[in-house]
Amino acid sequence: MTDRQAGSTSPKAHNIANEVRRRIVEREWRQGDRIPDEADLAIEFDAARATVNKALQLLADEGLLDRRRRAGTRVAIDPVRKATVTISIVREQVEQAGMAYNYRVVAQRRSPLPAAIAARLDVPEGQVMIHMRAIHYGDGRPFQLEDRWINPRAAPDLEKTDLWQLNANEWLVRNATYLRAELTFSAENANRRDARLLQTGTGQALLVMHRTTWNDLGFITFVRVAFQPGHRVGTENGENRGL
Amino acid sequence: MTDRQAGSTSPKAHNIANEVRRRIVEREWRQGDRIPDEADLAIEFDAARATVNKALQLLADEGLLDRRRRAGTRVAIDPVRKATVTISIVREQVEQAGMAYNYRVVAQRRSPLPAAIAARLDVPEGQVMIHMRAIHYGDGRPFQLEDRWINPRAAPDLEKTDLWQLNANEWLVRNATYLRAELTFSAENANRRDARLLQTGTGQALLVMHRTTWNDLGFITFVRVAFQPGHRVGTENGENRGL
DNA sequence: CAGTGGTCTAGACCACGAG
DNA sequence: TCGTGGTCTAGACCACTGG
């Protein structure tokens, strides 16, 4: 007898997760409380344990639950939440904003990696990399400025490409699939060069993103991206992520 | 006969995901290519389809694969990647950095919500909220400055709490579990007040985070957090998320 | 040591949507 | 229409780890 209850078209695991979330939000289960184990919940919700497991893992990923073998599942004492930033191709960002995209390479040369950066990347200092500086424009106004170091050893096809024509950013995103990435955001006062290239004033507060990527061959790129003054990077929280 | 192959202690789905990732990274499967369907991969990897499904969903979450019913699974044309920011309790951040935590409320009053903020929150303008300004210190030095609006209707217990003593941030994180959140990062030049409270100079570039949270009763809080100059917010990418 | 979550499996049915 | 992913189930064994 398949008694699929009326009114719940969404996946069962989703419904279970929502119900558990409700109980937490409404303090039926308080922070630090232990909640029933999977087997019990499976009975209560008339579901297989695997389904309950999926639901609870979802909530644990959100940081709402704390799960440990033998110790059971507890409502997280401090609901650390996670937010997700999506890193897309610059051109698409610009075009999505309804602006005409343009791109200009300001400088490109081979150059040994500076010690300061090398240390940060855990890479031997002084290796020769491709260094390039470029500006992305939206409707003719500078949108972001990037200062990029590329490791040709990790992106072997790159040298065949004419970076002055193509877009290294795009090339990399499309061709140099990475396995690991690190991102940081910070704020910097625009220096002389930033100001000139972004057509703004020295000292302007700029949102700066540093991004490093690696693949199996090692470090691929290190980029400093400085955004146009006033730019915001938004995140949607991972709450309703795909289940 | 449980022929668990030697050398692979990690979950099978994990191994499958890694192998698929390898094939993509090494161009065996190129961007846009269709990859074998779950059933075939299940045979190849000698696994149940559910296990393959789990692995592929993982990669799809990472943005590496594009999956559609009937159309099959393809290597994403443009591997949009996602990074994850974790929002934790300030005190813990500070203490994790090995510093002594301190907290000071600078101002607190009931006040109607300004139009500018109300518009942003999709909340009727002029509703009376709790407005507070506070500073978080690490080892006596200002760590971050927060300017917060709290909706008492969505956090009914709050009024009982002595916010001057306790930490509203902590109180909220512990008690006002939210269902939805939005975050943005931007850079601002420190204004007179920022500079004074953060003990820095006017015009300093500050990393600023705006965060809004909602629960089932509506909007809970809107905060502007200004970090100490030089502060970085780091993200680890979602790659090896729990499986 | 034993309870709890972690994972896998084989089989099943369903929903979507490309052709 | 019908292939493909989405999800569920019942059962099983294992891996941790608290007591």
CA distance A144 to B101: 37
pLDDT of residue B1: 34
| Of A89 and B99, the one with more pLDDT | B99
Which nucleotides of chain D are near protein (any atom < 7 Å from a CB)? 2-19
Q: Under an 8 A CB cutoff, do A234 and B184 touch?
A: yes
Percent of chain A past pLDDT 90, that is, above it, reads: 40
Contacts of B239 (CB under 8 A, 6+ apart): A179, A180, A181, B62
What is chain B's pLDDT, residue by residue, as a tens digit (243 residues)? 333 333 346 899 999 999 999 898 778 998 899 999 999 999 999 999 999 999 999 999 888 899 999 999 999 887 666 777 776 667 777 777 788 888 888 888 889 999 988 888 778 888 888 898 999 998 889 999 999 898 888 766 666 666 555 556 566 655 566 667 788 899 999 999 999 999 999 999 999 999 888 777 778 889 999 999 999 888 765 443 322
Contacts of B83 (CB under 8 A, 6+ apart): A84, A85, A86, A87, A181, A183, B235, B236, B237, B238
Cβ of residue B231 closer than 8 Å to a chain A Cβ? yes
Query: DSSP string covering B3-34, please?
Result: -PPTT--S-HHHHHHHHHHHHHHTTSS-TT-E
Contacts of B55 (CB under 8 A, 6+ apart): B13, B14, B16, B17, B20
Query: How far off is chain A from B109, nearest CA to CA, in Å?
Result: 27
pLDDT of residue A88: 67
pLDDT digits (tens, 9 = 90+) for A56-88: 999 998 888 999 999 999 998 876 667 777 766
CA distance A194 to A126: 25
Sign of CA dihedral B177, B182, B184, B188: negative
Give Dmax (Cα) for chain A.
74
pLDDT of residue B211: 87
| Average pLDDT of the residues of chain A | 82
Q: Per CA to C1' distance, which residue is closest to C3?
A: A70
Of A87, A189, A236, nearest to B80 by CB-CB distance is A87
Q: Under an 8 A CB cutoff, do B21 and A179 touch?
A: yes
pLDDT of residue B239: 42
Number of cross-chain residue pairs from A and B with Cβ atoms under 8 Å apart: 176
Q: Under an 8 A CB cutoff, do B24 and A238 touch?
A: no
**Average pLDDT of the residues in A156-172:** 62
Contacts of A82 (CB under 8 A, 6+ apart): A61, A62, A63, A237, A238, B84, B85, B86, B87
Sign of CA dihedral B227, B230, B235, B236: negative
Residue B129 has φ and ψ, to the nearest 5°, of: -125, 170
Q: How many CB atoms lie within 10 A of CB B154?
A: 19
Between the CA of A186 and the C1' of C13, what is the distance in angstroms?
Answer: 51
pLDDT digits (tens, 9 = 90+) for A17-36: 999 988 987 789 988 999 99
**Average pLDDT of the residues in A124-138:** 88
| Of A48 and A26, the one with more pLDDT | A48
pLDDT of residue B152: 81
C-alpha distances out from residue B92 to A15, B143, B166, B199, Å: 33, 12, 15, 22
pLDDT of residue A164: 59
CA distance A132 to A153: 16
CA distance A190 to A202: 5
Q: How many CA atoms lie within 13 A of A202 on its CB side?
A: 3
pLDDT of residue A165: 58
- Beta strand spans in chain A (E): 34-35, 65-68, 72-75, 81-87, 101-112, 128-138, 141-150, 180-189, 205-215, 218-227, 233-237
pLDDT digits (tens, 9 = 90+) for A181-233: 788 899 999 999 999 999 999 999 999 999 888 777 778 889 999 999 999 88
Query: How far off is chain A from B183, nearest CA to CA, in Å?
Result: 5
What H or E segment, with its residue span, contains residue B227? Answer: strand B218-227
Chain A residue numbers with beta carbons less than 8 Å from the beta carbon of B230 are 186
Domains defined for chain A, CATH in brackets: 2-75 (1.10.10.10), 90-240 (3.40.1410.10)
Between the CA of A137 and the C1' of C11, what is the distance in angstroms?
Answer: 55
pLDDT of residue A201: 97
Helices (H), A85-138: 90-96, 115-121
pLDDT of residue A133: 92
A182-211 residues touching B, CB cutoff 8 A: 182-189, 203-208
Q: pTM for the complete prediction? A: 0.79
